[in-house]
Chains A and B, each alone.
Chain A
C-alpha cells in the first residue's frame, strides 16, 4: 500500500457546463490514501456529475485529474484497475442471477473449476449478510431495485480495489444494511484504501477523519 502521505486521486479546478449553466464551478478535490471523502449536496447540486467526472464517466470542460501524482490521461488503465465504482445504475443485468452478475463484475472471484465451490460459498455468505442470500440463483429481474443495489454493494467485499467511488451508497438501505456498508468502508480505510462517496446529508464515522466537500446549489 502506498504510504498515507501520497495522494490517491486528485482533481484540480474542475469546471463542467451543461448547455448554458455552470453546474460544477472550479471544484478541487484531493483524496489521500486511507481516507474518506464525502461529497455532500442537495439534489441537482451536481454531485453525481462531479463523481462521474472523477472516474472519467462525464465530460470535463476545464480542470485536470491526477492518479497517484500522474496525469490521468497517462495512467487511465492503472486507475481503472484499482477502482470500484458503484453508480446510480447498479450494473446488474436483469437476465443473469446475482451470482452470475457478481462473477461477471468482479474478475477476482472468477475462480477456475477447483475453487468454484469455495467461491460460491463466499459469495453466498456475503449476500446472506446483506439479507438476500436466498436470492442467489433467482434471475435478477425478480429482485427489487433495493435488492439489486445490495447485490452491487456485495462487491465491496468481493472485489479488491484501492479506491472506492460510490454514488449515494446508503440510500434505499435499511439500518442493518447501512451499518454493513459503513463497516466495509471503515475496514477498507483501515487497510489503506480510500473511499469517495456522495450523500444528501453528512454521515458520521465514529473515529475516522472525514473530509467533507459540500456543493452549493448552482447560482
Chain B
C-alpha cells in the first residue's frame, strides 16, 4: 500500500516503517466501548479547555442570577434563607440550559456529527462521552461554586453539604435530559429557546427533589430520602437518555440539507 508516490513539492517526513502501517490498520474496530467513550470525553474536554467561554459563561450566569434575587427581594437574612435553596437550584438549572445546545451544535455545523453517525461505532456510547464532558465543564463548576453563593444567600450552615451533593446528582441528570433536547433541536438554527421549552418540563422532578432536599436539611430535617430519589433519577437518565439522544442525532443529521 505504501508504494513510492511521486513526491510533492515539499517532502520533509520520510515514510514510517511498514510495521506501523500494519499495526495501525488492524485497529479498526477493536476499540472497546469504554475506550470509545473516553476518546470523545477527552476530545470534548480538550475543546472546552481551549475555548474558556464555553464553561465560564454558565458559571458567570449562575453567579449573576443568584445575586439578582437579594437585589430584587431585599437583603433581609430571614427571607433570603428561606428562598435560598429554591433560588440556588433554579439558577443552576437555568445555567445548565444555557450551555446545552453547544454540545452538538458545533459538531453538527462542521460535519463531525455526521462522521460520528457514519463511523460504524455505536452513537449512544460516543454520546455518553460527550454528555459527561458537558457535565464536567458546565455542571461541576456550578457545584463547586454553590457553597460560596449559599453564603451570599444566608443559607444555614447545616445545608451546604446537602447543597453540593444534591447539585452534583442533579446537574448530572440535567446534562443527560438536556442533551435529549439538544439532540432533538440540533438541525434547527435558533433551536436554543425551543430546547428549553422541550427540556424544562422534564427537569421538574430534579428541581423538586433537589431544592426540597436542601430546604429540608436547612430546617433541620433529614434529606436522605430526597437524595436517594435524586440518585435514582440520575441513574435512570444516564442509562435511558443516550438511547433517545442517539436516535435524535440520526434524525437530525438526516434532516440537514
Contact = CB atoms under 8 A, between A and B. Distances in A.
Chains A and B in contact, CB within 8 Å: yes
Interface of A: 49, 52, 55-59, 77-83, 85, 87-96, 100, 104-105, 107-111, 115, 118-119, 121-122, 124-125, 128-131, 133, 139, 160, 176, 180, 183, 187, 191
Contact of B106 (A80, A93, A111): A93
A119 B20 contact: yes
Interface stretch (B1-9, B170-178, B195-203, B215-223): B1-9
B193 interface: no
B253 A111 contact: no
Given A93-B107, A111-B23, A57 B253 contact: yes
Contacts of B5: 129, 183
B118 interface: yes
A133 B12 contact: yes
A130 B8 contact: yes
Interface of B: 1, 3, 5, 7-17, 19-21, 23-25, 27-29, 31, 39, 43, 46-47, 50-51, 106-107, 109-112, 114-115, 117-121, 253-255, 257
A122 B21 contact: yes
24 contacts: A56-B254, A57-B254, A80-B118, A81-B29, A82-B120, A89-B110, A95-B46, A95-B50, A95-B51, A100-B46, A107-B27, A107-B28, A107-B29, A107-B31, A107-B121, A108-B24, A110-B27, A111-B24, A111-B27, A119-B20, A122-B15, A129-B5, A160-B25, A160-B28
B115 A85 contact: yes
Nearest to A152: B111
Contact of B16 (A83, A104, A125): A125
A192 B82 CA distance: 72
A91 B110 contact: yes
B201 to A, nearest CB: 29
B24 A122 contact: yes
A191 B115 contact: no
A78 B21 CA distance: 23
Contact of B119 (A59, A94, A107, A139): A107
A196 B111 CA distance: 19
Contacts of B13: 121, 124-125, 128, 133
Contact of B47 (A58, A79, A87, A93): A93
Nearest to B26: A108
A39 to B, nearest CB: 17
A115 B43 CA distance: 20
A105 B118 CA distance: 10
A85 B114 contact: yes
Given A88-B111, A89-B109, A129-B5, 6 more contacts: A80-B119, A83-B118, A90-B110, A108-B28, A110-B39, A176-B8
A16 B14 CA distance: 48
B11 A96 contact: no
Contacts of A139: 50
Contact of A128 (B8, B24, B25, B31): B8
B69 to A, nearest CB: 35
Max chain B CB contacts within 10 Å: which of A55, A90, A100, A115? A115
Contacts of A85: 114-115, 118
A109 B26 CA distance: 9
A2 B103 CA distance: 40
Nearest to B8: A129
Contacts of B21: 122
B41 to A, nearest CB: 12
A91 B118 CA distance: 11
Given A83-B118, A115-B20, A89 B111 contact: yes
A70 B119 CA distance: 19
Contacts of A100: 43, 46
A130 B257 CA distance: 29
A85 B11 CA distance: 27
B16 A87 contact: no
A96 B47 CA distance: 7
A126 to B, nearest CB: 9
Contacts of B43: 93, 96, 100, 104
